Amino acid sequence: MKTKKVAIIGASGYSGEELVKLLLHHPHAELVAVTSRQYAGQTLAQIFPKFASHPKSQSLRFSEPKAEVLAKQADVVFLALPHGVAAEYAVSLLNAGCVVIDLSADFRLKSAEIYKEFYAHDHPAPDLLKKSVYGLPEIYRDEIKKSLLIASPGCYPTSILLPTIPLLKAGLIKPTNIIADSLSGVSGAGRKAEIDYLFCECNESVRPYGVPKHRHLSEIEEQLTFAAGTKVVMQFTPHLIPVNRGILTTLYFEPAAKLTDEKISACYAKAYGEEPFVRLLEGKALPDTKNVAGTNVCEIAWRLDPRTGRLVVMSAEDNLVKGASGQAVQSMNLVCGWPETAGLI
Amino acid sequence: MKTKKVAIIGASGYSGEELVKLLLHHPHAELVAVTSRQYAGQTLAQIFPKFASHPKSQSLRFSEPKAEVLAKQADVVFLALPHGVAAEYAVSLLNAGCVVIDLSADFRLKSAEIYKEFYAHDHPAPDLLKKSVYGLPEIYRDEIKKSLLIASPGCYPTSILLPTIPLLKAGLIKPTNIIADSLSGVSGAGRKAEIDYLFCECNESVRPYGVPKHRHLSEIEEQLTFAAGTKVVMQFTPHLIPVNRGILTTLYFEPAAKLTDEKISACYAKAYGEEPFVRLLEGKALPDTKNVAGTNVCEIAWRLDPRTGRLVVMSAEDNLVKGASGQAVQSMNLVCGWPETAGLI
Amino acid sequence: MKTKKVAIIGASGYSGEELVKLLLHHPHAELVAVTSRQYAGQTLAQIFPKFASHPKSQSLRFSEPKAEVLAKQADVVFLALPHGVAAEYAVSLLNAGCVVIDLSADFRLKSAEIYKEFYAHDHPAPDLLKKSVYGLPEIYRDEIKKSLLIASPGCYPTSILLPTIPLLKAGLIKPTNIIADSLSGVSGAGRKAEIDYLFCECNESVRPYGVPKHRHLSEIEEQLTFAAGTKVVMQFTPHLIPVNRGILTTLYFEPAAKLTDEKISACYAKAYGEEPFVRLLEGKALPDTKNVAGTNVCEIAWRLDPRTGRLVVMSAEDNLVKGASGQAVQSMNLVCGWPETAGLI
Amino acid sequence: MKTKKVAIIGASGYSGEELVKLLLHHPHAELVAVTSRQYAGQTLAQIFPKFASHPKSQSLRFSEPKAEVLAKQADVVFLALPHGVAAEYAVSLLNAGCVVIDLSADFRLKSAEIYKEFYAHDHPAPDLLKKSVYGLPEIYRDEIKKSLLIASPGCYPTSILLPTIPLLKAGLIKPTNIIADSLSGVSGAGRKAEIDYLFCECNESVRPYGVPKHRHLSEIEEQLTFAAGTKVVMQFTPHLIPVNRGILTTLYFEPAAKLTDEKISACYAKAYGEEPFVRLLEGKALPDTKNVAGTNVCEIAWRLDPRTGRLVVMSAEDNLVKGASGQAVQSMNLVCGWPETAGLI
């Protein structure tokens, strides 16, 4: 299988670090460049001792993030950058013929207006919104294969969209009464030197935040609207919990008609029965973040409540893998024509 | 102020241990007996080294739990026992003239049928259900003062009832569409030698459990039904998170009529403005379990979501204090005629 | 008992916060001022929601740290400031007649040369070194009672000095071969926005640091030299472990002569048998930081190893209480003539 | 490369689970049997949901541990059993021609007397002690390649022996004054339902245990004696810290002669410069368990202390990988003639 050269712009955050790990061990991708303003000139091994046993960590040095240089080095470029900044790199890299896989929010929305509403600045490259594909392979596999600009989904959105889209598409739940209650590990906040994310501020602490209008609502609602064929406005409450990795989402749905376990089971089996990275739990099992940590798997379980009539669906993922870097690699595999599971577990 | 003698039956679990801590430092209660089948004969200091600097820990020894003996020693007896077992002790102790404060579920419900539905055995003393008072001081203060049998509420129920009852009583929310999503520290599972609660099974793990019909629903729904004046059936999803202490509950309500921040604020201020152990958060602050750990306080904050029309209310408490032993001591203070805040912070 | 007015300069760090907690509940001290450049103008309740249920938290506002203003307000002033900065305040406050209890390293050493060697700048007020007392009450109780300038010991030093000084004074161990291996919770690093202390960098991590010449060695060795009557140079390795609070120190000593359990037991009993805040463990018990968290107690246990001939001594303390703010309050109690245990558990 | 069939006896504990993980993804080993009395009849996926995405997890069922059956199924058998029990299986499996890799302590010692002293029962198969090889590949690589019975080292011993043996062999340190202070994650205690290892007993806790004569001393001292050529008796203090995985060991040595950084560096470079799983840290870096978690790497750093004259060496490993199952797989790779790093990172 033909190897391709890949680069990561912004490789020093948690998502960037996870990308480095995945790409160092990928059977078909060759990591040729990692950038970091802060660490430019230093080797991977110096900044991430955990990778020091990999031979490439001794030779690969962080460089300044210059699009024109990277475009000559790499076929595929991952952007692990803040929103707003990512878009600028994307334009240059696409023009130079690279495939761009963006982990920021810059190309996840189709609407520049909604982008401005949620991100508080004009979209830096609105023309590209038409060209980008939302990088959720279980939903957009065919589009991803043909795309040059893949907008890899957010961590919370992945944990909400995977369990919800099949139910909406099948008309099993009402689009008007959706609640998502999510619990995220602290790596979701990024590697930022802020008091709020110090060990002593997070350990022995549990807290909601961003209530009631977290930015991720924009892409969640847009995707759910596509799936439902009607405008979806929903409730979403993220919480910070003291684990490094993992998102656990509990979803509350109102059935659109009389539901049975069989109908739900059949709906999910049809949607995900053959998916390598969606695990439908059976019997008494419920999702647990420790069962997906370090993997690209999203666990899903559901319970129909005969007392309330509601459908409760629960999902678990590793926010840095299926919620970020693993999913981005999954998209890379698709766009490069490699086995979708290459380099992922 | 007149001192009273108090005993704890079942003092070796987490609630029992917290009761010991509170009672050793209580200004008016004198801890005269602690029982534990397992540790009978050993001093408090031997089993709980953390109390070893308190002089009483050297002299007070765990005894076998014999109701007739304890009834002679103590005026007030706390039961920190499993449901079913607690009721038997309560009968004997009440007959002997003791005040009984039960931390189990045995006397929290008014209906023996619902007890059987949720606890899977006949109620051991159904006649006493009429006599017991639900020990939530903010709601039943006057009744607690006059009661001889106080059923101290469960940890999840406290975190749900305190934020919900005032809204239901004021008719601000619909009683038909209530969802409670709760996150609990591991001490809520008790000091039980089970694989599921080992450090390595809980650390770096987040998981729902008891979905969709956790036992605590019985007392939550009964109390909400009393508050609403109409039958309440609701959704409740508990989750286990890797902290020692704390419950964070997020509640989703449908307004009964047009709501404003002012109306909600006024409703809570009327209900809890003078309460020493309910903290209504203002401004941007949201509840955080680390701000209530070790205290008898329940924090409450709310957000009206203009996009969905829902009211989101969040609460935080220490499951072992306001959710168990602190609240039981608060009830003791009331029934003994002491200041309600004595020995509590 | 006569109340005194106390102030805290630098009340927004972890030690400052713990001082606030202790002083809000102290029976004889009245907290009249807290300073913080960052939070000046805001109330205690706004910055520390956990204190919001205390009435004073609503009225007491952080002020700018101005020595002349504070000197008029307070009889006793705690300095919870970085070294170098603390000394400047101390001079002004002492001149104005205040008692100063300094939690920084500025007045812990008798030698300005050693200060410069370890802290890399000239001592700001070398004349005061003669006047200050090292605030370890178990060793310097009488001196503390009469002092106007108390240098409260560091967290590591307390955990090392308490177990070691009696053995050295009694001549039971050699002063030439002392090793201290210490494990500290992350609050010991202070409330600083640095990447190294983020939750995800500390959780699931254990690491040594500051090897082999941590600053605390200066005061440890000076105090051990006083106790031994001969120059002590020792080994000390601090480690960072993922807990909020607690220091566990394991000490390795070479006996000076034939040792027996009885001799060691007698030595410690004589030194600490009546001490309210030193807990000598007996039988099989070993120190555990969870048994001292939130208290001013230092636990000590020892084992003579017949195989190696060494004496192994282990101690546990809460780094923020006995290792910092609790011990400072203990000194305040002494200098103010209050019961030594007032406001402490 | 020729594939071999492997089995795991005792696959439900933490070491067994880690072996399952490594062997499911091993390029040359085919996992054909896993045993567990408790889970016999259930699939891997049922007991370990985290492996459910691997196709073999659906077909492979836990069986009863019967040596005669397993001997027909597998070429190589791992024993992840308690000491005493392991030896019985080893005898039968060796007689049936299997290669046995034992993770228990049963064949680590050459002396049956020392075994009895430390494990409190007669050795079940003393004749085999001559035939077994201590499975530390960096020291016994050639012997392991030719052995049919490999005694995989304990977790603490690995973290102590790797840094110490080269120094002793080179005569750089005295064999008479060695101290090892070790910190272990809770998985080291095994998946046992005991109160001491509950989340709430370990979280926010740090504690020594097994002082001063932990069982692992027997194999550590035997191996160090071999390396030194003279009897080694040493100090070892294990501590339990609240992480899932990882051992951090700090070693204190007395130089045998004048030491320099160059000499130590040369000694380690000679011993481990080409080793794939030993990482010698340079510059300011110190070991951190988070940099080795999930890998078979042991990090080593050292500091000569000019003040005390001592040499301080620190190591970090994942107790379940290099300290147990990864190292056992490394030995399997050697004995099977595969690349030593196959299936390991």
Q: Which two tokens stand for residue D258?
A: 């004048």
Residue of C nearest to B289 (CA): C50
For β-strands A99-102 and A76-79, DSSP reports them as: parallel
Q: Is the Cβ of A279 closer than 8 Å to some Cβ of chain D?
A: yes
The answer for C 135-194 residues in CB contact with A (under 8 A) is 185-187, 191-194
Residues of chain D with pLDDT below 70 are none
Check the CA dihedral A213-A216-A219-A225 and report its sign.
negative
For residues B4-33, give the mean pLDDT. Answer: 98
Structure confidence by residue, pLDDT tens digits, B170-206: 999 999 999 999 999 999 999 999 999 999 999 999 9
Sort out which chain D residues have CB atoms less than 8 A from A50's CB and list them. 290-292, 295
Q: Is the pLDDT assigned to residue B1 strictly greater than 90?
A: no
Q: Do the Cβ atoms of B307 and A213 come within 8 Å?
A: yes
Q: Is the Cβ of B38 closer than 8 Å to some Cβ of chain D?
A: no
How far is the alpha carbon of D337 from chain A, nearest alpha carbon, in Å?
22
Sort out which chain B residues have CB atoms less than 8 A from A289's CB and list them. 204-207
DSSP string, A200-211: HHHTT--EE-S-
For residues C109-137, give the mean pLDDT. Answer: 96
Which residue of D242, D245, D314 is in closest CB contact with C242? D242
How far is the alpha carbon of D130 from chain C, nearest alpha carbon, in Å?
27
Sort out which chain B residues have CB atoms less than 8 A from C276's CB and list them. 53
Query: Is the preceding omega at residue C212 within 30 degrees of 0, hence cis?
Result: yes
pLDDT at D282: 87
Neighbours of chain D (3+ CB pairs under 8 A): A, B, C
pLDDT at B282: 87
pLDDT at C1: 80
Neighbours of chain A (3+ CB pairs under 8 A): B, C, D
Structure confidence by residue, pLDDT tens digits, C179-220: 999 999 999 999 999 999 999 999 999 999 999 999 999 999
- State the amino acid at position A173 in one-letter form: I
Q: Is the Cβ of D290 closer than 8 Å to some Cβ of chain A?
A: yes
Sort out which chain D residues have CB atoms less than 8 A from A294's CB and list them. 294
Sort out which chain A residues have CB atoms less than 8 A from B249's CB and list them. none
Report the residue of A224, A233, A253, A308 to disrupt the B interface, i.e. the one with the largest count of B CBs within 10 Å.
Answer: A308
Q: Is the Cβ of D233 closer than 8 Å to some Cβ of chain A?
A: no
Q: Is the Cβ of B205 closer than 8 Å to some Cβ of chain A?
A: yes
Which residue of B235, B287, B288 is in closest CB contact with A308? B235
Sort out which chain D residues have CB atoms less than 8 A from A277's CB and list them. 53
Report the residue of D24, D44, D53, D320 to disrupt the A interface, i.e. the one with the largest count of A CBs within 10 Å.
Answer: D53
Q: Which two tokens stand for residue A335?
A: 């766009």
CB-side neighbour CA atoms (13 Å) of B301:
18
Q: Do the Cβ atoms of C204 and D293 come within 8 Å?
A: yes
pLDDT at D1: 80
Task: Tell me what ipTM this predicted complex has.
Answer: 0.97
Q: Do the Cβ atoms of B49 and C291 come within 8 Å?
A: yes
pLDDT at B11: 97
Q: Which residues of C265-277 are buried (b: 16+ CB within 10 A; e: fewer)?
A: eebbeebbeebbb
Q: Is D100 helix (H, G, I), strand (E, B) or coil?
A: strand
pLDDT at D53: 92
Phi, psi of A29 (to 5 degrees): -95, 140
CB neighbour list of residue C210: distance below 8 Å, 6 or more residues apart: C238
Q: Do the Cβ atoms of D186 and B201 come within 8 Å?
A: no
Q: Is the Cβ of A231 closer than 8 Å to some Cβ of chain B?
A: no
Q: Do the Cβ atoms of D203 and B194 come within 8 Å?
A: no
What distance in Å separates the CA atoms of residue C267 and residue C183, rounded to the nearest whole number? 26
The reply to whether D155 belongs to the active site is yes
How far is the alpha carbon of B117 from chain A, nearest alpha carbon, in Å?
13
What distance in Å separates the CA atoms of residue C335 and residue D120, rounded to the nearest whole number? 56
Q: Which two tokens stand for residue D41?
A: 């009849």
Task: Say how far residue D259 (Cα) sits from the centre of its chain.
Answer: 30
DSSP string, B258-286: ---HHHHHHHHHHHHTT-TTEEE--TT--
Which residue of C53, C279, C294 is in closest CB contact with B297? C53
Residue pair C107/C128 in contact (Cβ under 8 Å)? The answer is yes
Residue of A nearest to D298 (CA): A53
Sort out which chain B residues have CB atoms less than 8 A from C288's CB and list them. 49
Q: Do the Cβ atoms of D186 and B194 come within 8 Å?
A: no
Which residue of A235, A242, A246 is in closest CB contact with B310? A235
Among A18, A7, A79, A12, which Cα is nearest to A47's?
A12
Torsion of CA D213, D215, D218, D221, to 10 degrees: -60
A98, A155, A298, A336: the active-site residue: A155
pLDDT at A1: 79
> In whole angstroms, how large is the CA radius of gyration of chain C?
20
Q: What share of chain A is helix, strand, coil (3-state, %, to 5)?
A: 40, 20, 40
Sort out which chain D residues have CB atoms less than 8 A from B242's CB and list them. 199, 203
Q: Is the Cβ of D245 closer than 8 Å to some Cβ of chain C?
A: yes
Residue of C nearest to A198 (CA): C198
Q: Which residues of C80-97 are buried (b: 16+ CB within 10 A; e: fewer)?
A: bbebbbbbebbbbbbeee
pTM value is 0.98
What distance in Å separates the CA atoms of residue B297 and residue C52, rounded to the nearest whole number? 10
Which residue of C191, C195, C203 is in closest CB contact with A195? C191
Report the residue of C22, C23, C44, C50 to disrupt the B interface, i.e. the one with the largest count of B CBs within 10 Å.
Answer: C50
The answer for D 316-335 residues in CB contact with C (under 8 A) is 316
Residues of chain A with pLDDT below 50 are none
Residue of D nearest to B245 (CA): D200
pLDDT at A250: 98
